Structure 1
């Protein structure tokens, strides 16, 4: 039985608490949060103890920690947990700073403890099936990838100001997806972004609408589209064109009823937000982590993957600000 400490009892912490407690081979034993009341409430819900971060990290009986705290604390907690011999599943991104993330990568590697980054979309059953079909060569050589990721509404400005920006906070999922599906890291990044959904987002120094082109070797291309506003719901689609065909994964809709009349054909909207769309993916992500840690097998998503996605986000941020295509070699150093 994997004994787990959860750092962070906010919205995403609650999602992870459910996944940990639902798995037959893991047990949530402790929860911490800067708001002790939130930690106490979540701990009570799952029969765990509310504790401080330090108490969880120093407890030798805790085998693993799940980091669901604010982004600026991720690297510190990864380092602290691995130093004390714990396995780690940390929410994305690794850090707001690429340099800090690289330092964390080096420090964690020295401990040889498993560290997995929470790119839950890899575990969505639809996207996973698309990836598997591509790997089997069902459409020949993958040549052109298109990823659409639109939120139903923008987050609060208070969140935008500390998020690190759309490329690090939102599109980083799609950067990881692109590298995963294409099986490679891009050589160059071209980005354009604007603030047309909410002027306050632009005033905060961020964008809310963006398109990024990833240039891979051998002329392969990935195009990623993000918007903070899609009034019809949470729009999550992937399309992969290959030399011998096309693979596509569409939205998960609220129900499968379709009404067809002389007026037209109408179906349900996409599920409204990530909490509905990806709950199964979070559970599958946790199950994959437990299996890797308990059996000593390779993690399906690594700290290296997290640093790589953050580096692409950094390149996209530079490109959007300068209007120039950025060579990844200049970002990675």
Structure 2
């Protein structure tokens, strides 16, 4: 069987998915759309894209296309999800689904009504190390979880222009960590307390955001969690995790180009962490699209669905409110009236 797909958005992540999907025998990329189609024509020709258009509706209206990858800017995600669902397409959408919990709820209800599949691009769930830790927790290997610690730091900050449209640190960067917290702990976050500062780049503060944060969390199972974020770690992409329970602990450390460690009389040295997310999560990106294709072709559930996307956004909104109020905020306190989502 073959799954025929269309890619909406040919930025960095859209082009990455094209490369990964090209490596899967069960996938046929029928078309790609991007508002800058004319500038990307040489790339499209090199990749032998059958249909390359400025209008994504051409992909939604194509009866051969069974699924779409939404890799466009976040402020377009919810609307395209609703249109794609109405067109009967299965959907893979990059995170977050939207900047508004209410918009995300509407999109998820459209997906539910249409009976199509929706997978949200939280690629870290597919990292072999994080998957193993999640399994260890589920199987009781470390006992009853007590503390979760996540460190997530980028090698350099994005531009101020990017910050203005990013949705803020919690929605753009920490949202991966919020999802990872739920995934590894196997329990919902019920309360957060966020501290934030501008310590890396004053332009980020001038754009109305922070670049450094520490967030504490309470989980429904009684455990506690801590996330620390920075937009700049001078030594590389810092991605570490530890979960501690009453029977022991499990840790995930940074990936490096090699595991060689040099010890001499003068120093002990090892290589820096891999530079950024494309290198660090290359296998995870491949595995997530492989699993999505399998879910569509074999008609089974995706492992990272719209509800997971919604919950991460809810935590991000609570964290933002906590930063603003300087108080702990429960997810219930952060909720606003919205439509009911059937899980």
Give the deviation of 1:218 after TM superposition.
4.1
User: Is residue 31–residue 39 contact of structure 1 (8 Å, CA) maintained in 2?
Assistant: no
| 1:191 aligns to 2:197 (yes or no) | no
Aligned partner (choices 298, 303, 307) of residue 306 of structure 2: 303
The whole-number CA distance in structure 2 between the counterparts of 1:89 and 1:126 is 23
The whole-number CA distance in structure 1 between the counterparts of 2:221 and 2:135 is 22
User: Is residue 143–residue 248 contact of structure 2 (8 Å, CA) maintained in 1?
Assistant: yes
Give the deviation of 1:87 after TM superposition.
0.4
User: Is residue 321–residue 334 contact of structure 2 (8 Å, CA) maintained in 1?
Assistant: no
Corresponding residue number in structure 1 for 2:331: 328
Corresponding residue number in structure 1 for 2:339: none
| 1:219 aligns to 2:219 (yes or no) | no
The whole-number CA distance in structure 2 between the counterparts of 1:298 and 1:322 is 39
Give the deviation of 1:108 after TM superposition.
1.7
The 3-state SS of whatever aligns with 1:88 is strand
The whole-number CA distance in structure 1 between the counterparts of 2:43 and 2:144 is 47
Give the deviation of 1:217 after TM superposition.
2.4
For residues 224-271 of structure 1, the C-alpha deviation after alignment (integer angstroms, 9 at most, x for no partner) is 111001000000001000110010010001222211100121000000
Corresponding residue number in structure 1 for 2:78: 75
User: Is residue 10–residue 38 contact of structure 1 (8 Å, CA) maintained in 2?
Assistant: no
Aligned partner (choices 200, 203, 208) of residue 206 of structure 2: 203
The whole-number CA distance in structure 1 between the counterparts of 2:99 and 2:221 is 31
| 1:172 aligns to 2:183 (yes or no) | no
The whole-number CA distance in structure 2 between the counterparts of 1:142 and 1:21 is 40
For residues 104-163 of structure 1, the C-alpha deviation after alignment (integer angstroms, 9 at most, x for no partner) is 112221111100100000001111111112211111111110010000000011000000
The 3-state SS of whatever aligns with 2:268 is strand
Aligned partner (choices 107, 117, 121) of residue 118 of structure 1: 121
User: Is residue 60–residue 87 contact of structure 2 (8 Å, CA) maintained in 1?
Assistant: yes
Unaligned runs of 5+ residues in structure 1 are none
Q: For residues 183 and 38 of structure 1, do their structure 2 counterparts lie closer, same or farther at Cα, with a shift above 3 Å needed?
A: farther
Give the deviation of 1:38 after TM superposition.
4.5
User: Is residue 237–residue 249 contact of structure 1 (8 Å, CA) maintained in 2?
Assistant: yes
User: Is residue 167–residue 313 contact of structure 1 (8 Å, CA) maintained in 2?
Assistant: yes
| 1:28 aligns to 2:35 (yes or no) | no
Residue correspondences, number: 333
Corresponding residue number in structure 2 for 1:266: 269
Structure-1-length-normalised TM-score: 0.98
The 3-state SS of whatever aligns with 2:32 is strand
User: Is residue 31–residue 40 contact of structure 1 (8 Å, CA) maintained in 2?
Assistant: no
Q: For residues 76 and 174 of structure 1, do their structure 2 counterparts lie closer, same or farther at Cα, with a shift above 3 Å needed?
A: same
Structure-2-length-normalised TM-score: 0.95
Unaligned runs of 5+ residues in structure 2 are 337-343
The whole-number CA distance in structure 2 between the counterparts of 1:38 and 1:276 is 26
The whole-number CA distance in structure 2 between the counterparts of 1:236 and 1:73 is 29
User: Is residue 20–residue 286 contact of structure 1 (8 Å, CA) maintained in 2?
Assistant: yes
The whole-number CA distance in structure 1 between the counterparts of 2:122 and 2:279 is 16
RMSD after superposition: 1.1
Give the deviation of 1:187 after TM superposition.
1.1
Deviates more, 1:7-16 or 1:102-111: 102-111
The whole-number CA distance in structure 2 between the counterparts of 1:39 and 1:29 is 16
User: Is residue 91–residue 118 contact of structure 1 (8 Å, CA) maintained in 2?
Assistant: yes
The whole-number CA distance in structure 1 between the counterparts of 2:139 and 2:133 is 10
| 1:241 aligns to 2:248 (yes or no) | no
The 3-state SS of whatever aligns with 1:187 is strand
